[in-house]
Each structure stands twice: as structure tokens, then as C-alpha cells.
Amino acid sequence: MQDKIYDVIVIGAGMAGLTAAIYAVRANKKVLVLEGKTHGGQIITTFHIANYPGLPKVSGVDLMNSVYNQAKELGAEIEYAEVMKVKDEGEFKSVITEDFEDGSDEGKYLARTVIIATGSSERKLGLENEEKMTGRGISYCATCDGGFYKDKPVAVVGGGNTALYDALYLADVASKVYLVHRRNEFRGDAFLVDKLKTKENVEFVLESVPVKLIGEKKIEGLEVENLSHEKRTLTVDGIFVAVGRVPATEIFTKLKKDEGGYIEAGEDCHTNIDGVFVAGDCRTKNLRQLVTASGDGAVAATEAVHYLG
């Protein structure tokens, strides 16, 4: 069990978590990063990041592979397992992953400090069969899955920049793009809306919400309802959902959160529990971007190192 005791356990290998790991190992701490999916976090689906200082044309994958390699080469241990629970046991916090089985040491780690950097995940539509249909016509990433819908009709749901960019991208791939949005106006940038208006194969389906997924084994359509409660079925092979993100913080039941589920912390990244810090998109803050995620990672690790004394 001794070898499973760490000075710092970081949960999440996105920009915030990997930066925290870099700072903590450079302070000579024993560091483990636990990642539930693949390292890199939400940015890895983005082909072109234009606002990361010093790297004007980097892709999400290239940037995050580089940060990952840096953390690893400096000595951070990185394991792939989803964290299911964190228990505050005084001097140590126990971190339990999906690999944990009662009576064995597998999947249980002890840490003197924990840095939560779990980011956020896609908000779902909340429709029946949505989970079952994910990968069978429902997608949350147009740049990842758009290519599967060459010359086929698709719908994009949402009204922010992600939905608008998705619709633009898909307009060049799919035969037809329905852009479904619950309001009459978009939250996203006006220039994107103007660009979409020039695309002949894009149809705006406004003041309408999705109410039903059509199809048994794969998506065959999307039923939408407008403000007058009139229903219409859009015949589509794919539905791209871009209705925002939710913080991945459900498992942290003892931490103070705001009404949106974000873990409450100021710029020092301290939570309401001693020795537990939070960094990146899952924390209460105004700007959720790569630079603020890496800034948080550096701050949270430095605070953890001070806490360790």
C-alpha cells in the first residue's frame, strides 16, 4: 500500500490537471494523475487553436500531447481510471477509482493533497434513448464525427458559437443541415450567422426544441416542437448536439458548489476542504479557456505544495 501514497493526486489530465502535475513534480512531490478517458481533455477535438499565446496554429491534440509528455518526462505518474469517490480521512484523502474492488488494494490511492481538475462534459438533450443512440447518429463533436455524414442530412442543435461552427463545418460535408435553436436569435457571433445564411443547404429551425429521437437501431429523424406546440419531423441521419457543457463535479458531494455545479473557489484554488484544491473549467470563474486552466493548474499545485509544508 505504501507505494500508493502520493503527495498530490490530480484528478483529470486536461490542461489544468497536467499543468498542476508539472508544477508539483518540479517541487519534488510524488504526483499521480488519474484520467478517466484519454489525456488532453475537451480541447483535443479542436483542430486549430488560435488564441494560445506563442502557438498561433496549434491543434488541440498536438498541444495536449506536448503538455502530457512534459508532465511524464518530469516524473508525474499518469494512470487511466475514472475516479468515483474521494474521502477525506484526515491526514490522507482516499481516492477510489472504477478499478476498486472491496477487499483489494486495486484502484485505491492515498494522497496528502488532491487537486480536482475534472473540467466539464457535454450537456445532453435529455431525450429518451439519447445514450443508446450516442454513436448511432447522436454526436457531441462535429469535427470528430462529421465525416461519417458525407452527403447525408443532419441536424445541429444549439445557439452558441459551437453550434454555429458545427453547422458551418457540416454544411460543407452533409447534404442538408437543419440548425435547431429554441430562440429566434443566436447567442453566438453574428458573423457566423451571416456566413450560415449564405449556405444554400442550411435551414434555420428557430423557436423550436427537440422532443423525440426517431429510429430504433440508428437515428432516422428528429421530432421538434415550436412555440405554438406544432410538431415537425426532420428526416436526418445524424444529430449534432451543441447545447453547452456541465461541470464534471457530481462525485464531489462534500464540496461547496454554485447553482451550476461549479466547485466554489477563488483565484487561490482552495476549496472548503483543507488539502483539496480545484483547477480549471470545473471551478467558479468568469473565463473558461486554456490559459486560465493552465494558470489555475500552476496556482493549485503551488498552494498544495505550501499546504504540504
Ligand X SMILES: Cc1cc2nc3c(=O)[nH]c(=O)nc-3n(C[C@H](O)[C@H](O)[C@H](O)COP(=O)(O)OP(=O)(O)OC[C@H]3O[C@@H](n4cnc5c(N)ncnc54)[C@H](O)[C@@H]3O)c2cc1C
Output the smallest distance, CB 98 to ligand X, in A.
8
> Applying CB under 6 A, which of residues 37, 187, 231, 306 lies at the interface with ligand X?
37
Q: What are phi and psi of 301, to 5 degrees?
A: -65, -40
Residues in 49-88 that interact with ligand X by CB under 6 A: 49, 51, 82-83
CA–CA separation, 4 vs 110, rounded Å?
Answer: 6
Cell of 213: 429521437
Q: Which of 8, 10, 13, 157 binds ligand X (CB under 6 A)?
A: 13
Q: Give the neighbor-by-neighbor strand order of the sheet with 138-139.
A: 138-139, 238-241, 153-157, 176-180, 202-205
Selected from 7, 237, 281, 303, the binder of ligand X by CB under 6 A is 281
144 catalytic per annotation: yes
Catalytic position from the list 145, 166, 237, 296: 145
**Residue 145 appears among annotated catalytic residues:** yes
Lay out the site mask for ligand X across 127-156 (x = CB under 6 A, - = otherwise).
Answer: ------------------------------
Work out whether 42 is an interface residue with ligand X (CB under 6 A): yes
Residue 247 in contact with ligand X, rule: CB under 6 A: no
d(CA 291, CA 275): 24
Q: Does 113 bind ligand X (CB under 6 A)?
A: no
C-alpha cell at 199: 449556405
Binding mask 161-190 for ligand X (x = CB under 6 A): -x----------------------------
Q: Which residues of 92-114 are buried (b: 16+ CB within 10 A; e: fewer)?
A: bbbbbbeebeeeeeebbbbbbbb
Given CA atoms 24, 59, 148, 138 in this order, what sign does their dihedral have?
positive
Q: Is 3 labeled as catalytic in the residue annotation?
A: no
Return the number of other C-beta atoms located less than 10 Å from residue 178's C-beta.
Answer: 24
Catalytic residues: 141, 144-145
Q: Which residues of the chain form contacts with ligand X (CB under 6 A)?
A: 11-17, 34-37, 41-43, 45-46, 49, 51, 82-83, 117-120, 162, 248, 251, 280-281, 288-291, 293
